[in-house]
Amino acid sequence: MTKRINVVGAVILDRSNGHILCAQRGKGSLAGLWEFPGGKIEEGESPQAALEREINEELLCSISVGDFIVTTEHDYDFGIVILTTFLCTLEEGQPRLTEHTEVRWLPPEDMMTLDWAPADIPAVMLLQERQMGAS
């Protein structure tokens, strides 16, 4: 039976300019690919609580978790990743690199210039569609 891994991703929005935080994965599986930062949901943890914890651990800042964006599934060679993304805003601090090799703030229309992890691509596409609809 294929392992199912429930994870969350933070679409952190800079409200001043509409840019979104993109993070490049460091070591391990999918190294070098871009993602919305986040991680695994632990037993008994809500997706929102997992996201707040993961961002605090990975980027040493705090966020407020807002609206649900989308849940996607992707079958990788190590298991099926079920990724749920939420729109978030920074509450305290600025993202600092601990696990990622780089972060970039990009407008939605430029996000596909990066090499995204497959599970994150549907959220990127949705954000671009929303941006086009708002212009």
Global pTM? 0.94
Residue-wise pLDDT tens digits, 39-55: 999 999 999 999 999 99
- Answer yes or no: is pLDDT of 86 > 90: yes
Nearest to 40 by CA among 71, 6, 78: 6
Domains of the chain in sequence order: 4-134 (3.90.79.10)
pLDDT band at 67 (very low <50, low <70, confident <90, very high): very high
Residue-wise pLDDT tens digits, 88-123: 999 999 999 999 999 999 999 999 999 999 999 999
List Cβ neighbours of 110 (8 Å cut-off, separation of 6 or more): none
User: How many beta carbons lie within 10 A of that of residue 56, not counting itself?
Assistant: 14
Give me the mean pLDDT over the 20-48 stretch: 95
